[in-house]
Amino acid sequence: MAKGLGDKGKEPLRAFFNNKTSDDDITHVAIKDCRPNPYQPREQFDDETLAELAQSIEKHGILQPLIVRGSIKGFEIVVGERRFRAAQKAGLAQVPAIVKELTDEEMMELALLENLQREDLTPIEEARSYEKLMKELGVTQDVLSQRLGKSRSHISNLIRLLTLPNVVVEKINTGKLSMGHGRALLGLKDRDEQMNLVKRIERDSLNVRQVETIIKEINEKKPKKKEKKTKDIFLQEREENLKERLGTSVKIHKGKRKGKIEIEFTNEQDLERIIDMFGKKE
């Protein structure tokens, strides 16, 4: 399993940003030699706020240095891409920076942690970052929650948003729908029903509570399935464990001679995510 900043012998992840920096640690690097972090979780950079930051930089300079990693082509930005973009707009030739020796895994973790601390990510950006870290580091939601200081349920709930239709995911990512709307829509299994309800949300400006009420009414109108025999507590515990680890619905069926496990997925991307989790060991 790949190791990150939370591992023994490495600088603790949450303490990384709290370390005091002396002037001797800061150098100045040419903007033309810097390139964005390939593991940057942020997809949305607001032009208006960047312009405001650029004006501040023109007047006061960059007050907090960037964190960069040396590469063959110059420097990769680990932390501070927003400041870097604003410095470009301000026409600066150099930026103050601290050069660190970091692995790819550490870069991913630090970029995500910085944005989480600043609450700069959309729910979808955050979810995609968790999913990518789990895949790249080969860790479970349990391990990731401990490493980042986020609850497992928080991580699981966000990742589940990625199982919604792509058009719905992008509406949440751009703020056209809220995370609350997305979580409510997960209550509908039929994708056509989800899309029809999204149209109603946008047309009638429905709030989350209204959407939850509509979904409850839709589900109550559906014919109820015959009651099944109470499942073995042992199997129920295993189902819940797999559900939390995989971030999707899991059913275990026990027969007289052999049993089977059903793992639900909603699209090819979701299927690949689940397969990748089975393909890597912790």
What's the pTM? 0.55
- Residue 44 has what pLDDT? 65
The CA distance from 40 to 258, in Å, is 46
Give the whole-number percent of the chain exceeding pLDDT 90: 18
| Dist CA 183 CA 131 (whole Å) | 17
81 flagged as catalytic? yes
**Mean pLDDT (the chain, rounded):** 79
Catalytic residue among 11, 52, 76, 81: 81
Q: Give 40 or 242, the one with higher predicted confidence.
A: 242
Is the model more confident about 115 or about 264? 264
Domain boundaries, the chain: 23-102, 233-267
Task: Please state the rounded mean pLDDT for residues 192-204.
Answer: 93
Is 60 exceeded by the pLDDT of residue 15? no
Express each pLDDT in 60-117 by its tens digit: 888 788 888 888 888 888 888 888 888 888 888 888 888 888 887 777 777 777 766 6
> What CA–CA distance (Å, rounded) separates 239 from 34?
47
| CATH number at 23-102 | 3.90.1530.30
